[in-house]
Amino acid sequence: MNVRGLPRLLGALVGAAVAGNLAAATCESLAKLVLPNTTLTTAQTVAAGSFSPPTGQPIANLPSFCRVAGVIHPVEDSLISFEVWIPSSGWNGKFYGIGNGGFAGSIGYSALAAAVRRGDAAASTDTGHSTATGEPNASWALNHPQKVIDFGYRAIHETAVKGKAIVGAFYGSAVQHAYFNSCSNGGRQALMEAQSYPEDYDGIVAGAPANYWTHLLTSALWDTEALLGAPGSYIPAAKLPAIETAVLAACDALDGVKDGVVDDPSQCHFDPSTLLCKGADADSCLSAAQVDALRKLYSGPGPRIFPGHAVGGEGGPGGWAAWVTGPAPEKSLGFEFGTQFFKDMVYQDAKWDYRTFDLEHGVRKADEKMAHDLNATDADLKPFARRGGKLILYHGWSDAAISPYNSINYYNQVAAKLKAKETAAFLRLYMAPGVQHCGGGPGPNSFDMNKPMETWVEQGVAPGPIVATRQGRSRPLCPYPEVARWKGSGSTDDAANFSCVMPEGAEKKPPAKTSK
């Protein structure tokens, strides 16, 4: 048994005892509810309409709900803030855990609002520290190992246990079905729950998971080295559209439809040297040093560490200009996350200089100090699968933040631990062409994973193709390793004219992970 899973039975008993021994309570009376290592600071009924959270903008169009806020303090130097929102009436019996992006640090008020509008009860946590939303800031972790543990796994688990207990106390009946759906770091949290606390949730959706945290952020610094390690190797944002145009020219039509999207980058063998400048430098071409840097970005630091970037996600908002190259050297989000991680978590040195980074030493040190607390890479999900849990993974093929090949690797590792029938009974992976990190991008990027998951858990109907849409175009997202192929007639903007098929040679060999 994973050592993190030892307290989970106690947590389940706490929730069951509270739900089983209390009649339905008023919202305000929940302030007197006693839960282990927990102080409830707020229990108030919020009238239907608009609500102004402690941080952020007012939220409108809300039903009446019971808002419970508190802190969990399991050990010294751990103070986990959380909130639980419960519909005052019309509850559907479901509970949703809400994840966090980046280095976390805030309550997800908009996600709580969306949940109560659906009739769900939901809980969110700041994971034990407070930082400005959207800032890659890990300074809170410096010399605070317990806060790193809270961020890594403890806060999400504790919030699930306490949240379900509070909902059960309010209604006088236990939660019927518990779900978790989040992306990026939230996808890592999702997989941490599946591997370490399989009783917490019945259905888990993990989008673009940052589950191989130590190697992902090592790879981010490898990207920086590739871009800045040689004179003239940095690729400015102005050249990214030319790279994406060349990739599309080489591979857009491989799936039989020319639509501005590389449907399956694993089958695209784009050669960066085709962009080599034949005369003066220009935004439409690359120097020899830049061609070499581009090859490195696609290949990555090696399969032992982390896969490289997929072709096709270079341009546009949310692409490489945000995550990989940045608007200027040392200004990308990948650089910010990587340096913050090594400075404040791995080396515990606020003055650490990334220019001293050594790949082999860095990844070894990161694994030694942080893998246990931050990586959700244990592929043995048998306890979760055999208790009836369901897991959906999804990842955008144009994700510039986290290589989509990482999700394929994880899926294959989990499947290798089980028989094919067991895998099919609890696990699905959906690769989304043209979708960037957790959304956006040129491909159909709007899709609902909640409904297919709920249908699977509650009715036993496993998900098949899931329709994604964008600006009048729809396409099926296919259960991996199947891919969508146009039937040869009808509009290529209509999902009904596509079918999910096995790619040629898929049974014989795994897909290529990088370009040339």
Examine the pLDDT at 513 and tell me if it is beyond 50: no
Mean pLDDT of 180-194: 98
pLDDT band at 426 (very low <50, low <70, confident <90, very high): very high
130-173 pLDDT tens trace: 987 657 899 999 999 999 999 999 999 999 999 999 999 999 99
Mean pLDDT of 319-341: 97
pLDDT band at 495 (very low <50, low <70, confident <90, very high): very high
Can you give the pLDDT at residue 5? Answer: 52
35-78 pLDDT tens trace: 999 999 999 999 999 999 998 899 999 999 999 999 999 999 99
pLDDT band at 412 (very low <50, low <70, confident <90, very high): very high
79-120 pLDDT tens trace: 999 999 999 999 999 999 999 999 999 999 999 999 999 999
DSSP β-ladder status, 466-470 and 473-477: antiparallel
Half-sphere exposure of 40 (CA within 13 A, CB side): 20
In sequence order, which ranges of 87-210 are alpha helices (DSSP H)? 109-118, 145-149, 155-171, 185-196
Neighbours of 117 (CB within 10 A): 14
In sequence order, which ranges of 66-184 are alpha helices (DSSP H)? 109-118, 145-149, 155-171
Examine the pLDDT at 24 and tell me if it is beyond 90: no
Contact in structure between 492 and 257 (CB atoms under 8 Å): yes
Burial class of residue 353, CB neighbours in 10 A (0-12, 13-18, 19+): exposed
Contact in structure between 217 and 274 (CB atoms under 8 Å): no
User: Distance (Å, rounded) from C-alpha 427 to C-alpha 414?
Assistant: 9
Examine the pLDDT at 4 and tell me if it is beyond 70: no
pLDDT band at 17 (very low <50, low <70, confident <90, very high): very low
Examine the pLDDT at 13 and tell me if it is beyond 90: no
Examine the pLDDT at 443 and tell me if it is beyond 90: yes
Neighbours of 154 (CB within 10 A): 26
Minimum mean pLDDT range among 13-27, 100-114, 140-154, 425-439: 13-27
Share of the chain above pLDDT 90, in %: 91
Minimum mean pLDDT range among 26-30, 128-132, 187-191, 285-289: 128-132
Q: Supply the mean pLDDT for the chain.
A: 93
240-264 pLDDT tens trace: 999 999 999 999 999 999 999 999 9
How many angstroms separate the Cα of 125 from the Cα of each of 15, 108, 229? 18, 7, 39
Examine the pLDDT at 21 and tell me if it is beyond 90: no
Can you give the pLDDT at residue 16? Answer: 46
Can you give the pLDDT at residue 464? Answer: 98
200-256 pLDDT tens trace: 999 999 999 999 999 999 999 999 999 999 999 999 999 999 999 999 999 999 999
Q: Which residues form the catalytic set?
A: 184, 399, 437
In sequence order, which ranges of 92-154 are alpha helices (DSSP H)? 109-118, 145-149
Half-sphere exposure of 426 (CA within 13 A, CB side): 23
Contact in structure between 230 and 304 (CB atoms under 8 Å): no
C-alpha angle 447-452-454 in degrees, rounded to nearest 5: 125
pLDDT band at 313 (very low <50, low <70, confident <90, very high): confident
Domain boundaries, the chain: 1-175, 215-367
